[in-house]
Each structure stands twice: as structure tokens, then as C-alpha cells.
Structure 1
Amino acid sequence: MSDFSSKIRLQKCKYMADEISKVCTLSDDTYKALCLSEREHFVPKGFSRHAYKLDALPMLADQWISSPLTVAKMSEALTCKGADSVLEIGCGSGYQALVLSKLIRRVFTIERVERLLMEARERFKNLNIHNIHTRFDDGQNGWKEYAPYDRILFSASIPKIPENIFEQLADGGILVAPIEKGHKQIITRFTKENGTIKSEELDDCLFVPVKDGKGY
């Protein structure tokens, strides 16, 4: 990758972050993370010209890379400042994990579709990203070995958060997920205080649903 090409991509990232900031309020940290996250590396071949538009894009295995606007909203809802570790359920292309890697020291991300995870791992390797740890598994199992997590993020919609996932959230931690309610999905923020879970609905959204088991 030439320095010139990287400079052009970073200029596009900044333009994209500026467009997002016109739609929703961004903290300085989230804005900077978006400016440093080159989405072009995470979109399917043939879609590079669309990489910095505020659109979701299709991937293999009937999955989608979320709109950067949605990624920004989810990242902002996590309130990452002061957090040391985050668990992401649904790695997908790896773009959301990339943004989180600019905000939180340790990122743990799980993907149930092996082909997607292999591609994401290769992208992280090519970009010399060393603080993202990946796991091939059903995300609903969580990743107990490194729990508790200061933050947990679902990058797929789910009707209800499994209790074992709340158990892996640190006290004082925040979990953000697209919760299915009828025909709608709502970005919902959960906080854990003295073992009690409180929830707050934030915004409508659209994600692929969480699925059981592993896929290949």
C-alpha cells in the first residue's frame, strides 16, 4: 500500500465521518476512530467505490456489512471512554471491530461463519492490527475465558439477550444490541449496576438476525 493511496483513503474516511456527524452526534473519540478506519479494505471486491457512502453492502453467506452510520451509532452508544475490553458478537467483515480497536485497548470478536472470520483475520493481519482477538463460535456462547468485559456489542439482532452474556458483562459495564420488537429492531443500551440490568431504547436500526450454531 503506497503512502499516497493511504492518504486518499484517510481523506475519504474523514469525509464519511463528516457526513455521519451531520446525521448524529459523535464524540471526538468516535469521530477520530471513524477517520482512522479505512472501510475500503472491508467491503467486497467490486464495491470499493461505495466504501465511504453511508450504505450497508452485501457480503458472502447472505450477510451484510453495516452502514457506517449504524456502526457510528452503535460505537457511540457503547460510551467507550474508560473501557479496557469489549466483546463483539458477530464479527462479519471486521469493520465494526476495526472501529472499536481505535476506541478500546482489547477487542474480542466472535463470528459463526468460518469463511467470514478467515477473511476478517486476513484483513486485520494485512493492516497490522494486533489488539483484535477472534474466535470461531456461536456468539451466543460468549467468550468466558476473557470475561468479564467492560463493554459488549451485538452486531446482529436478537429478541432477548441470553443470561450467560449478561454474566460476562462487568459490573458497571454497558451492552448494546439491536433488539427485535415485532417488525422493528431498536438499538438498546443495557447497563449493569450492582448485578441489576437496566435498559434504554435509543434508535431504530436494521441488522441481520443472530443465528444458532456455526456456519461454514
Structure 2
Amino acid sequence: MQALKTANMVLEISKKFPLSPSVEKAILSINRELFVPNGFKHLAYALDALPMGASQWISSPLTVAKMTEYLQCEGADSVLEIGCGSGYQAAILSKIIRRVFSIERIEKLWLEARERIKLCDIYNINTKLDDGQNGWATFAPYDRILFSASVVEIPQNLIAQLSEGGILVAPIVTNNTQTITRFIKRDGILSNKQELESCVFVPVVSGLEREKN
């Protein structure tokens, strides 16, 4: 039943946005129900964003598919995600890119995402509790960097952690409007700016939010 529901979800996504074989296969291989809060299991396969606590949202599967496609993953060996959230985007990326690194600033969400990833028997995702704007210098440089939250500008230290020729995709905020934007790093700076489509993401926030005992 879960496989049929996932297949129907992929069909609905493909009606709205063309999927490459690799992204379609990745989405088919992940049980989305595991990444949705218990009270919303019946909506797991709808093409809508869903609340998941801590004033955060799990992106719609359509948005996850788009972000994955926009990242142009072919040939990439490592990806850094800023904003792990439910872990669903990282899980999809793990089926396409060999090494996935994902940072989450809210401890509750980070712990829950780790458990979901474990339930999926995925072993090529590394997660970290930290302010995503710091990046993860230990494993840099990354072939791809994906922001799963909106930013006004890309922090310089994250640009430094992107490989030369690497691709960065982020929802950029300009005049209170968010636009999914893709960059390629050339000669140490972000260039080849492409504004892909308007969007709505929660904003990147500084600092950590830890569980209260």
C-alpha cells in the first residue's frame, strides 16, 4: 500500500514538474510517512507542506523534488544541506549523492530526523546540531550546497566551503519576496545566477535551539 501511495505521489509530482529518472527513483525509494508527524500521516502523500513542530514545516514533496532537480546532482560526490528539518530532503539526496551532510539548529528536530534516517536504513547521511550559517568545514569542500531555508545573502564562509565549479541552490529573499536561485562558483565567487521560481520557505535563523530539561 505504501509503495502504491508513493507511486501515485510521484505521478502527481510529474504532472506539475518533470522528473529525471534518478530523482524519480529516489522519491520512490523513501517512505514519506516516516517523515511526517503522527497526526498528519493521512496527508503524507499530498503535495502540500505540513507542520512538524518548533514552528517549522516539512516541505511539500513537490518542492523537495524541485530543489533536488535544481541542484543538478549528476557527477556530485558530496552535498551540504542547511536546514535538515524532518530529514526528508536529506533522505532523497542520499539516494543520488554518495555523501550527504545536513545541519539543523533545533535540537528536537535534529534528534527526530536522526531517528527517521535510521529507520530508513540510510547510512550515508551525516547530521550535525549547529547554526547552519557556520557550514561544516571539517568535510569541505562540497560539490553541492542546498539551503532548505530562505536567506537574504549567502554567508561568505559557506561560499568558501563550496567546491570550485560547484552548485549552490537557495531561496533568496529580495524585497520580501523569495526566489529559488542557483549559483555556480567560479574563481572563488558565486556567479551564473539563475532565478528559477518564486517560493515560500521558513527563514534561516542564527543560533541553536536546545531541548529544555
Q: Could you say which TM-score interval applies, normalised by the shorter chain?
A: over 0.9
Partner Cα distance (1:186, 1:193) in 2 = 21
Superimposed CA distance per residue, residues 111-154 of structure 1 (whole angstroms, 9 cap, x where no aligned partner): 00000000000111122110000000000000000000000000
Superimposed CA distance per residue, residues 64-118 of structure 1 (whole angstroms, 9 cap, x where no aligned partner): 0001111111000000011000000000000000100111010000000000000
Give the superposition deviation at 1:194.
3.0
Instruction: State the aligned residue count.
Output: 209
Give the superposition deviation at 1:193.
2.2
Give the superposition deviation at 1:182.
1.5
Give 3-state SS (helix, strand or coil) of 2:200's partner: coil
Give 3-state SS (helix, strand or coil) of 2:53's partner: coil
> In the alignment, which residue of structure 2 is the partner of 1:134?
127
Partner Cα distance (1:11, 1:150) in 2 = 34
Superimposed CA distance per residue, residues 172-204 of structure 1 (whole angstroms, 9 cap, x where no aligned partner): 100000001112110000101232321110011
Partner Cα distance (1:46, 1:60) in 2 = 11
Q: TM-score under structure 2 normalisation?
A: 0.96
Mapping 1:1-216, distance limit 5 Å: 8-198=1-191, 199-216=193-210
Partner Cα distance (1:63, 1:89) in 2 = 14
Q: Note the residue ranges of structure 2 that are not aligned, 5 or more in a row.
A: none
Partner Cα distance (2:203, 2:56) in 1 = 10
Give the superposition deviation at 1:52.
0.4
Partner Cα distance (2:108, 2:181) in 1 = 29
Are 2:101 and 2:126, in contact at CA under 8 Å, matched by a contact in 1? yes
Task: Note the aligned Cα RMSD (angstroms).
Answer: 0.8
Partner Cα distance (1:14, 1:195) in 2 = 41
Partner Cα distance (2:189, 2:158) in 1 = 14
Moved over 6 A (4+): none
Partner Cα distance (1:193, 1:14) in 2 = 39
Identity of aligned residues (%): 60
Structure 2 letter corresponding to 1:137:
D
Give 3-state SS (helix, strand or coil) of 2:126's partner: strand
Partner Cα distance (2:62, 2:168) in 1 = 19
Structure 2 letter corresponding to 1:113:
I
Q: Note the residue ranges of structure 1 that are not aligned, 5 or more in a row.
A: 1-7
Partner Cα distance (2:3, 2:208) in 1 = 35
Q: TM-score under structure 1 normalisation?
A: 0.95
Partner Cα distance (2:29, 2:120) in 1 = 12
